Chains A and B, each alone.
Chain A
Amino acid sequence: MEERKKTNTDQNNNDLSSSLDEQDLSEVKEIITLFSNTVSSIKIYITKHSTVIKQVDQLWTKLNDYLDKYWKLEIGIRELAFTYKEKTIFQDVKTIKSLPFLFYKDGMQKLILYKGLKKEELQEFLEIIKKVYELPAEEGDIVNLLWERDFANIRYFAPDDFLETKIGAGKKLAEIQVERDALFSGSIELLPEDHAELQKACKEDKIPEQISSEEYDEEKQWKEIEFDEQFSTLTERENRILDAMLIANRRVSPEDELVMLVTEMLNLEEDTERFEEILEAVVYIYHDIIQKGNFTLAHQLLSNVLEIDMFLSYQSDPKERLIDEFLRKLKSNERLDLIKRTVLKGKVEDFRLFLAFLDLLLGPDASALLAELYEKINNKDFRQRTLHFLEESAMKDPNVLVKIAKDSRPELTKEVISILSSIPEKRSIQSLATFIQSKDKTIKTKAIKALGKFKDLTSSKILIGFLNDKDKDVRILAASSLPFAKDDSIVEQVKNLVFGRGFKKKSKEEKMAILAILTKSRIKKAYELLEEILLKPGFFSGSKHTETRLCSIQALEIMGSPESLRILKKGAHSRNRKIREVCKMALQDLSPDHNQER
Chain B
Amino acid sequence: MTDDIREEYEAQFKAKQKKSQKKAIDILNGMHMAYKNIKIYDPNNLTVRKQISSLFQDIKDLLLTEEEVTFTIRLSTLYLNGIKVHFRFANYYLFKFLSEELHRRETGLLQFKSGLNKEELKLFIFLLSEKEKAIKNPFETFSAQLRESQISHVFVEKAQPFEETQSSEKNAKKIFFLGIVHLKEIFEYLKRGEKIPLSTTRRLMQSIFNHIVNNESFTYGLTTIKNFDEYTLNHSINVCILSISLGRRLGLDRNELAELGISAFFHDFGKTEIPKEILDKPGKLDEQEREVIEKHPHLGAEKLIQLKETSHLPMRAINVAMEHHVKEDLTGYPKYQKKRHINLYSKIVKICDVYDAMTTHRPYRTKVFTRDETLSMMMKNSGTDFDPIILKVFANMVGTYPIGTLVLLNTGEIGIVVETSPDPSKLLRPKVKIIADEEGNKIDGGIMDLSKRDLQTKTYTSRIVKSLDPQKYNIQVSDYFIVQAQ
A residues with CB within 8 A of B: 46-48, 107, 110, 112, 116, 118, 120-121, 123, 127, 138-139, 141, 143-144, 147-148, 150, 152-153, 155, 157, 159-160, 162-164, 166-168, 173-178, 180, 183-191, 194, 197-198, 201-202, 205, 213-214, 216-217, 220-221, 224-225, 227-229, 231-234, 238-239, 241-243, 245-246, 248-249, 254-255, 257-258, 260-265, 267-269, 274, 277-278, 280-281, 284-285
Contacts and interface: CB of A to CB of B under 8 A. Distances in A.
Nearest to A254: B315
Given A234-B393, A242-B250, A167 B206 contact: no
Contacts of B197: 138, 166
A261 B225 contact: no
B27 interface: no
Contact of B203 (A127, A152, A163, A255): A163
A255 B173 contact: no
A305 to B, nearest CB: 13
Given A187-B442, A188-B442, A155 B160 contact: yes
Nearest to B9: A120
B424 A152 contact: no
B389 to A, nearest CB: 5
Contacts of A232: 392-393, 395-396, 400, 424, 427
Contact of B410 (A166, A180, A202, A257): A202
Contact of A198 (B83, B410, B457): B410
A47 B322 contact: no
B309 interface: yes
Interface stretch (B31-39, B114-122, B459-467): B459-467
A152 B472 contact: no
B251 interface: yes
Nearest to B74: A155
A224 B429 contact: yes
Contacts of B354: none
7 contacts: A47-B2, A157-B166, A175-B173, A197-B408, A232-B427, A242-B389, A258-B315
B199 A139 contact: yes
A189 B440 contact: yes
Contact of B177 (A175, A202, A216, A233): A175
Q: Which 7 A-B pairs have the closest CB atoms?
A: A254-B315, A232-B396, A281-B305, A217-B459, A152-B79, A201-B465, A249-B344
B478 A168 contact: no
A152 B74 contact: yes
Contact of A178 (B393, B395, B479): B479
Given A120-B9, A227-B400, A264-B334, 9 more contacts: A175-B173, A183-B483, A188-B436, A194-B408, A220-B460, A224-B428, A231-B427, A232-B396, A242-B89
Nearest to A138: B199
Contacts of B453: 217
Nearest to B467: A194
B206 A147 contact: yes
Contacts of A202: 410
Contact of B486 (A163, A178, A189): A178
A197 to B, nearest CB: 5
B200 interface: yes
Contact of B181 (A153, A168, A249, A277): A168
A531 B88 CA distance: 100
A189 B442 CA distance: 10
Nearest to A112: B160
Given A267-B337, A284-B308, A255 B315 contact: yes
B308 A281 contact: yes
Given A183-B483, A187-B442, A274-B302, A233 B396 contact: yes
B440 A227 contact: no
B458 interface: yes
B361 to A, nearest CB: 15
Nearest to A216: B459
A245 B203 contact: no
Contacts of A264: 322, 334, 336-339
A227 B478 CA distance: 29
Contacts of A139: 199, 312
Among A118, A143, A178, A220: residue with most chain B CB under 10 A:
A178
